[in-house]
Structure 1
Amino acid sequence: MTTADAVRRRLGLGRLLPLGGAADGAWLAEQAADAVLRHASAEVPGVELGRLRLGLVDPETADAPAVPPPPSALFPGPLRVDAEFAAAALQPLPALASALREALFTAAVDVLDLAVTEVDLRVTALLDDAPESATATGPPEVRAVPATDPAGTAAAVARGVACLTATLGTPVHSAADHVRVEVATAAGHRPLDVALAVREAVSKALADGRPVSVLITAVAE
């Protein structure tokens, strides 16, 4: 992979969102969250979701993580969903916005384990008719990477892991003071549970006391 390809893949992940609290050492790629949230929005008749971003409500009050975070990762703290949408006149606009806000909030908290406390919506267009079959989007394409070391082998068989991924370069980043593992989750498993299982498995496999962090790059519902 060329340097340009690596940069494009890294930018495609979007922000790296904290999962759990400062002690949990887990992050979720915004790209993975986007796919799940768009799937949830597709269940709301009469809306067409546009631009969507996730970020910290207040970066100044975020907690420093207990383990070294991935490059440019957000620190743990309450999150906000900012989204734009077009609406058809199937229901009053406040009712449509309320239904969309509830769908996004529920998916963020109950499916993704994100600490979302705010969902800000902005209407960008009014549609004459309902959007043409709002198709639920699937998860981003995942390129499975084989395990080649003890940490990767342990992570690959941890509960809820679909496969190792290597969006940031390698599935296992091993440094003198920490280890970072990158995975995709299997269907039916919550991201934070998977991340904690991976941390436990890798820590046991290495048994050298180095803190372990986990980056989830794709979530299967």
Structure 2
Amino acid sequence: MTTADAVRRRLGLGRLLPLGGAADGAWLAERAAQAVLRRVAAQVPGVAAGPLRLALADPGAAATPAVPPPPSALPPGPLRIEADFGVVAQEPLPATASTLRTALFAAAAQLLDLDVTQVDLRVTELLDTAPKPGAPAHPPEVRAVAPTDLAGTAASRAPGVAHLTATLGTPVHLAPDHVRVEVATASGHRPLEVVRAVREAVTAALADGRPVAVLITSVDS
């Protein structure tokens, strides 16, 4: 892979969102979260989902993670969803917005384990008719990588791991003061449960006391 290819793949992840609290040492790729949230938004009657972004709700109140974060990762703290959407003109706008906001809050908490405290919505288009159901949004494709070391093998066998990925260059990054593992989650497994299973498996396999950070690059909900 060329340097340019690596940069394009890294930028394609979007922001690396804090997953759980400061002690969890976990992050979720924004594009993985977007795929899930946009699918949920598209199921709200009368809504045509548009661009959706996630950011820290209050950057000044963010905490320091217990484990060194991946490059450019956001620090732990509550998140804000910003979403654009089109709406059927005949429907009461406040009611539709309220339904969409509730759906996004629920999906963030129940499907992604993200701490979202704000959902900011913006109507960008008034539609004459309800949008036709489109193809369901699938998790972004990430290249599966076979484990090549003790930590990678342990992580790949943890409950809820679909496979290892290597978007940041390698599925397992071994540093003197920590270990970082990159994975995709399997359907039916909540992200934080997978993170904790991966951490437990890698910690037991290495048995050297280094803290383990986990980056989830794809979620199959």
Aligned residues: 221
Amino acid at match of 1:3: T
- Paired residue for 2:5? 5
Determine if contact 2:65/2:75 at 8 Å carries over to the other structure: yes
Distance 1:90 1:133, change over 3 A: farther
* RMSD value, Cα: 0.9
Q: Secondary structure at the match of 2:188?
A: coil
- Paired residue for 1:212? 212
Matched, 1:166 2:188: no
- Paired residue for 2:104? 104
Amino acid at match of 2:79: L
- Paired residue for 1:188? 188
Alpha-carbon distance in 1 for matches of 2:48, 2:22: 35
For residues 82-107 of structure 1, give each alpha carbon's deviation from its aligned partner in whole angstroms, at most 9, with x where no partner exists.
Answer: 01111113520111111111111111
Amino acid at match of 2:159: R
Determine if contact 2:90/2:128 at 8 Å carries over to the other structure: no
Amino acid at match of 1:41: A
- Paired residue for 1:151? 151
Distance 1:186 1:49, change over 3 A: same
Matched, 1:63 2:63: yes
Q: Give the TM-score, by structure 2 length.
A: 0.98
- Paired residue for 1:121? 121
Amino acid at match of 1:132: K
Q: Give the TM-score, by structure 1 length.
A: 0.98
- Paired residue for 2:47? 47
Structure 2, unmatched stretches of 5+, are none
For residues 198-218 of structure 1, give each alpha carbon's deviation from its aligned partner in whole angstroms, at most 9, with x where no partner exists.
Answer: 011101100111111000000
Matched, 1:176 2:171: no
Q: For structure 1, which segment, 81-90 or 178-187, has the greater mean C-alpha deviation from structure 2 after superposition?
A: 81-90
- Identical-residue share of aligned pairs (%): 72
**Runs of 4+ off more than 4 Å:** none
Amino acid at match of 1:4: A
Determine if contact 1:38/1:136 at 8 Å carries over to the other structure: no
Alpha-carbon distance in 2 for matches of 1:6, 1:48: 33
Determine if contact 1:48/1:134 at 8 Å carries over to the other structure: no
Alpha-carbon distance in 2 for matches of 1:6, 1:74: 20
Determine if contact 1:180/1:214 at 8 Å carries over to the other structure: yes
Alpha-carbon distance in 1 for matches of 2:192, 2:50: 27
Structure 1, unmatched stretches of 5+, are none
- Paired residue for 1:142? 142
